[in-house]
Chains A and B, each alone.
Chain A
Amino acid sequence: MSNRMMRLATLSVLSALLVAGATSACAASTEADYKTAYAAADAANNEAGKLRNQWTTAVKALKEAKKAAEAGDFDKAVAESKKSEMLSKAAIFQTNEQKDAWKQMEIR
């Protein structure tokens, strides 16, 4: 390995570390990461759909994830998938919580 290549390698390791430090997430996401994250988000969204309470923002994030993945931006695709999953899980939580809680608002 030449000196120059060595320096390049160190640099890239360093910058990877820097990125990792800044975002406190793992380095560049792969297509496989995206597929896992998207599947989880899609499943959560479908479950919210079965409960008749999808959130528009979750559906939108899911679309954004797909778009980013098609453009090869897997970091964004994973981030959007995770955001969508989080929102759908909140929707599911909301539905379950409202199963009885709606009565508190009722006029009697």
Chain B
Amino acid sequence: MRLTFRSAAAGLILATLTFGGAQMSHAADNPNPPADLKAFQKYFTDKFPKVKLEDFVNGPYSMDEGLYKQWKEKEEFPPYEFALDAGKELFNKPFKNGKSFADCFPNKGIGVRQNYPYFDEKQGKVVTLELAVNQCLESNGEKPFSYTKDDMASVTAYMAFTSRGKPFDIKIPNDPRALAAYENGKRYFYTRRGQLNFSCATCHVQSPGDHIRAEVLAPALGILNAMPIYRSEWGGMGTISRRFTSCNSQVRAVPLKPQDDEYRDLEYYLSYVSNGLPISGPGARP
């Protein structure tokens, strides 16, 4: 046993060494979000010179011609329609105290998806749209939604729908805590975890457009613009929380709780580097 463990560990070290050797080591470590954003978007536009920047929000469909055709047809009659209707109904339904979601959000919650997540200086943490929805419910004495699907997916689907086409506009205020959250999200994105030793970037930076079994991997750039999504594989809608937790368990890492610090920070980072790309949610994915 001991021996196997050691050799597994040695394998890990070896893999890291080879990888480290192939890449150049980096000197400067000062956080610089605007530079990150530029490099991040350039990486993808260089890797896929034929794909227009705003088309990255269509995920795997922008990478594969056959899929693109299927998707165009699907979009004429999208599977998220039922969720959208349910979301609209939920969104407009008054709470027991007479207030509604519109009272919790700027511009009554219409066309604001592109501003989430934002750093809340009062709470001292990143507030995602899903968290804001539940905070709204709780502050009005209502029961919060489950984060992964159903009502949460429906409400965020409706909110995304009213914001379609608006470019992501995530801001990092001049607050060391906001920058720390951003850096923490970045670290989470690139850190390998789980028995399969994958990071988010392994699939969504190194291999977008490639197949993993029968599926085409989505590029990290613009991946959150299409959320929430109807996934045929799930047979239903899923939120960003669902996406993160299911990705974790797929690499055999025990998922954290939805909206834990790491996930909110990750969403903050990932949304920031997709700034400028339009909201396309709700989306449909195979």
Query: Which residues of A does B touch, CB under 8 Å?
Result: 49, 52-57, 59, 82-83, 86-87, 89-91, 93-95, 97-98, 101-108
Contact = CB atoms under 8 A, between A and B. Distances in A.
B192 A98 contact: yes
Given A57-B252, A86-B1, 9 more contacts: A56-B195, A90-B8, A90-B195, A91-B195, A97-B12, A98-B191, A105-B206, A108-B36, A108-B39
A87 B201 CA distance: 23
A101 B19 CA distance: 10
A57 B194 CA distance: 9
Contacts of B192: 94, 98, 101-102
A56 B255 CA distance: 9
Contacts of B95: none
Given A94-B193, A97-B12, A107-B43, A86 B254 contact: no
Given A55-B195, A55-B254, A93-B9, A105 B205 contact: yes
B205 A107 contact: yes
A52 B5 contact: no
Interface residues of B, number: 39
A98 B201 CA distance: 13
Contacts of B20: 101, 104
Interface in B180-231: 186-187, 190-195, 197, 199, 201-202, 205-206
Contacts of B195: 55-57, 87, 90-91
B190 A52 contact: no
Contact of A90 (B5, B23, B43, B249): B5
B19 A104 contact: yes
B252 A55 contact: yes
Interface of B: 1, 4-5, 8-9, 12-13, 16, 19-20, 23, 25-26, 29, 35-36, 39-40, 43, 186-187, 190-195, 197, 199, 201-202, 205-206, 249, 252-254, 256, 262
B193 A56 contact: no
Contacts of A57: 195, 252
A44 to B, nearest CB: 11
B194 A56 contact: yes
Contacts of B16: 97, 101, 104
B12 A90 contact: yes
Contact of A53 (B26, B29, B193): B193
Contact of A105 (B9, B13, B201, B252): B201
A105 B39 contact: no
Contacts of B256: 52
20 contacts: A52-B256, A53-B193, A56-B195, A56-B249, A82-B1, A86-B4, A86-B8, A89-B5, A93-B9, A93-B12, A94-B192, A94-B193, A97-B13, A98-B193, A102-B191, A103-B190, A104-B23, A105-B19, A105-B23, A105-B190
Contacts of B1: 82-83, 86
A103 B23 CA distance: 10
Given A93-B9, A107-B39, A107-B43, A102 B187 contact: yes
B186 A54 contact: no
Nearest to A49: B254
A103 B252 contact: no
Contacts of B12: 90, 93-94, 97
